[in-house]
Amino acid sequence: MNAVLASWARSEVLAFDCLFRADGTAREADIDGPEHLRLELGGPVDVAALVADPPWDAGSVEVIDEVELPDGLGYVVHGDSGLGHLGFIGRLGPDRGLRWLLTTSTGNPFVGASVDWPLAHFVNDWGSTLTLDLTDPDFAP
């Protein structure tokens, strides 16, 4: 089991401001504050280096809710990591196995989600919405 899946199995996050994939890879993820929620994905992140020397104290993952995707495609989840300002969103497969997890230290906890296939809308505790296209290669399973 790779570090991304092992962390998820322990209900923990590895680090913040990353898009983690179930295959053990990650990319930088920058969300422009809790008010606007503009997402920009960057280059690859060395997950092994994050595990060896995490940039912040990792918090435990608290899934607030999950929303079922149509046609048995799985679920989207959202929540926080118990440190107050940290949030995450993710996608699970039909077996509820992790497909990807986006963690953020600037987007705040995500408290709501809805799906209008292929779009998923995630609302943070400021009432701002981040919309992702779940058919985009970055957010597909």
Higher-pLDDT residue of 71 and 3 is 71
Write out 15-80 in H/E/C secondary structure.
Answer: CCCEEEECCCCEEEEEECHHHHCCEEEEEEECHHHHHHCCCCCCCECEEEEEEECHHHCCEEEEEE
Residue 53: its pLDDT value, please?
A: 76
* pLDDT of residue 83 exceeding 90: no
Mean pLDDT, all residues of the chain: 89
Residue 120: its pLDDT value, please?
A: 98
Share of the chain above pLDDT 90, in %: 56
Nearest to 94 by CA among 64, 68, 130, 131: 68
* pLDDT of residue 59 exceeding 70: no
Q: What is the mean pLDDT of residues 124-138?
A: 95
Task: Give CA–CA dist 141/22, Å, rounded.
Answer: 9
Q: What is the mean pLDDT of residues 47-72?
A: 82
* pLDDT of residue 130 exceeding 90: yes
| Residues 14, 25 contacting (CB under 8 angstroms) | no
| Residues 94, 77 contacting (CB under 8 angstroms) | no
Q: Alpha-carbon torsion 108, 113, 73, 40, what sign?
A: negative
pLDDT of 84-129, one tens digit each?
A: 668 899 999 999 999 999 988 887 889 999 999 999 999 998 999 9
CA dist 104 → 7, 18, 41, 56, 94 (Å): 16, 7, 12, 12, 25
Q: What is the mean pLDDT of residues 44-73?
A: 83
* pLDDT of residue 57 exceeding 70: no
Task: Give CA–CA dist 23/21, Å, rounded.
Answer: 5
